[in-house]
Structure 1
Amino acid sequence: MQLYYKQYGSDGPPLIILHGLLGAHGNWHTLSRNAFSDHATVYAVDQRNHGRSPHADVIDYPHMAADLKAFIEAHGLSDVTVLGHSMGGKTAMEAALRYPDLIDKLIVVDMAPRAYTPNHQALINALRSIDPTDYDSRSDIDDVLAEDVPSWPIRQFLLKNLDYADDSYRWMPNLAAIDANYDALVGSVEADGRYAKPTLFVRGGASNYIANGDWPGIQERFPNATLVTIPEAGHWVHAEAPEALSKAVIRLLDA
C-alpha cells in the first residue's frame, strides 16, 4: 500500500507523523511547516482508509504498522523518528515494537497502548448516515451533521474529510471499513516485546487518555520513555497547545 504523504523541508533526519482516527495529514500542516521542518525532514502521512491514501477492507494496528514499515523502506529512510497522535500513536507503538530496527525515536501524543471505550461510534454513524452527493454545499452538509453532532469544533474537524471533485462531494475516509474494524481500532496494541530506544509520551492535562495508572504499563513496554504533561491541553494537543508540544518534540529531535 502506497500511503499518501506531504513532505515539509529537506534537511535533517526524517520525522514521520501519523494522524488520529478520522483525521489526515493536514491536521499537522501548521506544526510541520512552521516548527518541525527546521529540525527534520517531515513526512505527514495519511494512514490507510483516511485522507488520500488507498482503501482496504482491513484496518488494524498490525496492518498499519506494516504500512509504515513499507513507507520507510520504500523511501529509503534511516534515523527515523515516528510521531503518532491518538490512533496514530497506537500505530507508532505497534510499529516500534514490531520493527525496532527501523525506528530510532518514538513520540506518542495522548495515547496509551491499552484498549479504550468506543467513544467515536456515534460520530462514525453520523457520517455514514449522510450521502454527500445529495448536497450542493458544505454548509448544507454541516446543517445536517449538526443534528447528530452539535459541537461546532468537532463538526469542523469531521468536515475536513469532505472532498469535492467532478461537481460532487464525497467522504474521503473508507467509513464502511472503519466501522467494520472499529473494535480493533479501540483495542490495545497487539505486539509483544519492548522498545528500548528514546521514547516521548506527551499527554494533555485536561485529557484522560493517559491516566497516571497507565504509566507503569507503558514503562514496561517502553523502558526508555519519558512523560510530558501539557496542563492547558486536552486530547487535541497539537491544536490546543502547539507551541508547548513543538518544544517537547524538538527537544527529542535535537537530542
Structure 2
Amino acid sequence: MSSPTWDPALYTAFGDHRARPFYDLTGRIAASAPRRVVDLGCGPGGLTASLADRWPEALIEGVDSSETMLDAARSRFGARQGLVFTHGDILRWEPAEDVDVVVSNAALQWVPGHQGLIGRWLEQLVPGAWLAVQVPGNFSAPSHTLMRELAESSQWDQQLRGVLRHTDAVSEPSGYLELMLDAGWDADVWETTYCQVLTGEDAVLNWVRGTGLRPVLDALSPREGAQFEEQYNQLLFDAYPTVERNGVVTTVFPFRRIFLVGRKPDGA
C-alpha cells in the first residue's frame, strides 16, 4: 500500500488528543543523556521539538516520508539548534552507531510487516539504547469497521479493493512483548483506551479525515470522495451519537492505543 497524502493542518486539528499518547509513550523512556534521538514518522514536527526541550544536548532528528509534513516542520522549527528534519522511508531506515533513542508514534501501522523492522532495529541498536513505539489498536472499532464495510459495498468495491488494511495492520500487545523479550531487551508493553470527547458537528469524520480515511480519499476523485464521506458520516452518526452539553455538541470517541518501550541491556 502506498503512503497516503497528508494535510498538516488537518492532522493537528485535534492536537491535544493526538499529543497525549506521545507524551505517555516518551514519559517511559529513562535515557538521561542520549547523543542522538530519532523520531520516525515525525509529521509536522511539534512533538519532535518537545524531545529537543527534554534533551537539549542531543541531536534530535525527525524523519518522515511526506515532504508536506516536513515543510510544515521546517517552517516552524527549522531554525532551532540541534533539531533537524530529514526526508526518509521508515522501511529503509537503519540506526547509526550514535543513536541512543528511537521513537515512532502512530506511524508504523502504515508500514506492512513493521514487526520485522522492529526486530531488525532491536538487533542493530547499540547496548543501552531505547526504543519506544505507539500504534493505534482501534482497527476493530466502529470508525474503522464501518469504513471497511462501506468500501467493500457494491458501489465502492471496484475503486477501493485492497486500499484499506485491518487485521494485519498491527499486532496485539503480547506479540510486541514477545518480539522484544526474544531479542533480549528489557520491555514494557501496555495498552490504553482514551475516551476522547470531541466537539462540533461531524467530529468523528473530521478526526478520521486526518488519518485513517486518507487512503480512501487518495483513491477516489474529489466528487467520489465527497459522496463516500457523506455515506460514511451517516453511519458514524449512528455509531457515535452526539450530545449537547452546555450548548456545545460533543461526541465520545473511544480510541485504543498500543505502547511498547524497551531498553537494550548493556553488553547485549
TM-score clears 0.5:
no
TM-score by length of 1: 0.36
Answer 1 or 2: which has greater strand percent. Answer: 2
TM-score by length of 2: 0.35
